[in-house]
Amino acid sequence: MTEPIKIGTRGSKLALWQAHYVADKLNATGIDTEIVTIETRGDKILDVSIAKIGSKGVFTEEIEDQLKEGNIDIAVHSAKDMQSELPEGFELIAFTEREKVNDVLVSENRSLSLNDQELIVGTSSTRRVAVLKHLYPHVKTVAVRGNLQTRIAKMKEGACDALMLAYAGMYRMGYGDLIVAELPLTDFIPAVGQGSVAIECALELAEPKKAAITHALNHSITASRLNCERAFLRELQGGCSIPVFGLAHVMEDQIKIEGGIINLEGTEVIRKTRSGNIKDAKHIGSDLAKEVLKAGGDRILADIKSKL
């Protein structure tokens, strides 16, 4: 491959970490790379919640425009930021090996706990807000948006006592010393795709390039897990502003997914589990979503969409 692979990414430190991580993996297989930084709508609008901006393509639309025009070959995204259905003309060709998937509580106060009365937690996630209302109704939440460094700065300035974030971003940015608790997966099932980096391209990208990129970057077990989770999300038609959760695990040739939906008030949770052969990962995810919808998830989803 003579020309370098052009990697499109958002400009935050975490997004650039992901882009360089991908570049290093491609370089290790003899593929030259070039990183191209692109600002998205989600990066520009920081005073409004994601739900109010609109959940589709908030962090991806401008990058996909560059893919379509051929200015970049691939786009690197946090898998949890990817909408459940890509716009026509695009595909995901790799998922990198998944980091620990837990949500974490972040604070300068090492003795802080979710059991503390009058605790104020900053988060921009409707899922995290709803789960906190369900499990820790005494906790007050405030919307804190921006990149990781901006959120931590807002916390230090007194906007909140703690933040709730993904372990992966904190670890990758070297902020592990601010993690005061890893929240258990029994209570806090993460967003679909949390902990993995997704590689997107235009359908027109040359097949030899696609094959070389997939070979260098795709982690097959992670891909099976995320294909299952994303099929679940797609069937539910849940964007990143809907409080939906889902996590798949692989054991030899079997895959098991636990997922569900919670209403915005945190008063009603529907949570189901399904398992089967790994080769049926997408069907298993889709079937789980149908089960959740049938159990009342359709009513919760309609209510959420009427309020966002």
The total number of residues shown for the chain amounts to: 308
- For the chain, percent helix, then strand, then coil, each to nearest 5? 40, 25, 35
Cβ–Cβ < 8 Å for 90, 64? yes
User: Which residue, among 120, 106, 242, 240, has the nearest Cα to 165 in the 3D structure?
Assistant: 106
Cα(212)–Cα(164) distance, rounded to whole angstroms? 37
Among 81, 103, 161, 287, the active-site one is 81
φ/ψ bin of 195: left (φ > 0), alpha (ψ from -120 to 50), beta (otherwise): left
Q: What are the DSSP calls for 165-233, one per residue? A: EEHHHHHHTT-GGGEEEEPPTTT----TTTT-EEEEEETTS-HHHHHHHHHHH--HHHHHHHHHHHHHH
Buried (b) or exposed (e) across 269-300, using 16+ Cβ within 10 A? bbebebbbebeebbebbbbbbbbbbeeebeeb
Torsion of the alpha carbons at 55, 142, 178 and 166, rounded to the nearest 10: -20
Cβ–Cβ < 8 Å for 74, 199? yes
First-to-last alpha carbon distance for the chain, in angstroms, is 47
Cα(187)–Cα(207) distance, rounded to whole angstroms? 42
Cα(20)–Cα(300) distance, rounded to whole angstroms? 40
Asked about 116 being catalytic, the answer comes back as no
Counts of helices then strands in the chain (DSSP H, E) = 11, 13
Q: Write out the catalytic residue numbers.
A: 81
